[in-house]
Chains A and B, each alone.
Chain A
């Protein structure tokens, strides 16, 4: 069974740091691009970051750029999100998701087809 399990969330003061982890199993992790998505309380989904399967290409949402670093360890089947200088508005449930490429005859498309259950980050004094 394909599975993603997030960990590392918790309560942190503004300005603090956290490192989120996402452990993958049931599929060949190194072959897939990965993303982080979050949902603040009472709000919608917000895309946070993307990393290619080798880690050579990375993207961030403007809301976290300069404060967050995405990385992966393919030998450990793990994805990470290092979060620094945390703000109250970073309070959210953080999901990792597999960003799968779907091929067709002429083109390819993407979709987040495997998700974890999320880890909660609370930033409060």
Chain B
């Protein structure tokens, strides 16, 4: 069964800085079938990216996704105060549609 490993576990940055979050799969993700979600406490998760690099409706263009095969990246070009949250990658190419363990992006 595939495993998604996200790094770092916690990322401490300041507003205005650039954030780079990694998601590594234990085997190749079929056809870049990978999504990214943002999750804030007390709220439902929010879809950011699907297909590894396509932004979901309403997602600001400071969020971008890249990668293929086993290595994927979510980049937030310039952090806004509302961006701080936990971020998850998820593969949906083959069941089970597992999530990574998450990266906690916190304010420094």
- B96 part of interface (Cβ distance < 8 Å): yes
Report the minimum CB–CB distance from B73 to chain A (whole Å): 17
Interface locus among A20-28, A44-52, A81-89: A44-52
Q: Is the interface of A mostly helix, strand, loop or mixed?
A: strand
Q: Decide if A1 is an interface residue (CB 8 Å cutoff).
A: no
Which residues of chain A have C-beta atoms less than 8 A from B90's C-beta? 45, 47
CA distance A118 to B37 in the complex (A): 16
Contact with A along B13-52 (1 / 0, CB 8 A): 0000000000000000001110101010000111101110
Contact in complex: A45, B39 (CB < 8 Å): yes
Show the binding face of A for B, using Cβ within 8 Å. Answer: 35, 37, 44-47, 50, 59-62, 95, 97, 99, 102, 104, 107, 109-113, 115-118
Contact at A44–B102, with CB atoms within 8 Å? yes
Residue contact A104 to B96, C-beta cutoff 8 Å:
no
Indicate which residue in A62, A110, A115 contacts B44 across the interface (CB closer than 8 Å).
Answer: A115
Q: Determine the chain B residues whose CB is within 8 A of the CB of A37 once the complex forms.
A: 45, 99
Chain A residue, CB-CB nearest to B86: A44
B101 close to A (CB within 8 Å): yes
- Tell whether A35 pairs with B97 under 8 Å between CB atoms, given A104-B54, A110-B35, A111-B50: yes
Seen from chain B, the residues whose Cβ lies within 8 Å of a Cβ on chain A are 1, 31-33, 35, 37, 39, 44-47, 49-51, 54, 56-57, 86, 88, 90, 92, 95-102
Measured CB to CB, the closest approach of chain A to B66, in angstroms, equals: 15
Q: How far is the CB of B83 from chain A (nearest CB, A)?
A: 18
Q: Which residues of A contact B96 (CB under 8 A)?
A: 47, 59-62
Q: List 9 A-B contacts (CB under 8 A).
A: A35-B97, A44-B86, A44-B99, A45-B88, A45-B90, A61-B96, A62-B1, A95-B44, A109-B50
The interface centre, meaning the residue of A44, A46, A116 with most chain B CB atoms within 10 A of its CB, is A44
Q: How far is the CB of A88 from chain B (nearest CB, A)?
A: 21
| Alpha-carbon separation in the docked complex, A109 to B88 (Å) | 17
